[in-house]
Amino acid sequence: MAEYPYKLYDYPDSGNGYKVRLILNHLQLAYSYQAVDILAGETRQADFLALNPNGRIPVLQLADGTCLAESNAILWYLGDTTHLVPTDRLQRARVLQWMFFEQYNHEPNIATSRFILKHTEINEERQQALDQKRPAGYAALDVMEQHLANNEFFVGEFSIADIALFAYTHVAEEGGFKLASYSAIQRWIDAISSHPNHCPINTISQA
């Protein structure tokens, strides 16, 4: 484990992994990086399953070797007690509300469509999946737009809920979702992207 307090097992194009890279950058925490080739099935091999029996990246390994999975749980682990998680009880639950929304309504539609379009050959089954995910993904964007029309960020003044939802929203067009009519989402994307500690997706920094 050597000199870095954290080791991130990740796939560079993953938005779920990007959430973790982004918070590490915001908090200026150093980490070592192990790329895992999900397309080659590396997350299903025994050595990776020993880190996360659920066979998914990202996985954050702590200095003592302990592994934590699920991008949004990692965000909470790193963000709690910092300015990225509010202290008020209801606000904290609201952060989680948006993060569960992200994993249930947003990621399975928008991220998965992006994955199909970027990394697979389209066949009839995949086209059918895209067709099903399209209205559900737009419904998630509609909910976000409605909230952001009246709020600068999802909760308070920028939190891990924003990081979680930013990861796949800002590349939603790669999943076939047009953002042109979502003016509040665009304003929010611009605000997050212009933060001094921001880094683009695919950035692998060791701080």
Residues 6+ apart with CB under 8 A from 111: 15, 16, 168, 175
Type of residue at 143: V
Q: Which of 27, 29, 35, 69 binds a second copy (CB under 8 A)?
A: 69
Separation of alpha carbons 29 and 108, rounded Å: 29
CB of 133 to a second copy, least distance (A): 12
What secondary structure, in 3-state letters, does 112-171 show? Answer: HHHHHHHHCCCCHHHHHHHHHHHHHHHHHHHHHHHHHCCCCCCCCCCCHHHHHHHHHHCC
Q: Of 21-29, 85-93, 114-122, 191-199, which part binds a second copy (CB under 8 A)? A: 85-93
**Contact flag: residue 80 with a second copy (CB under 8 A):** yes
As measured in angstroms, the least distance from the Cβ of 89 to a second copy is: 7
Decide whether 89 or 121 has the Cβ nearer to a second copy. 89
Name the residues that contact a second copy, by CB under 8 A. 53-54, 62, 66, 68-74, 76-77, 80, 89-90, 92-94, 96-97, 99-101, 103-105, 107-108, 143, 146-147
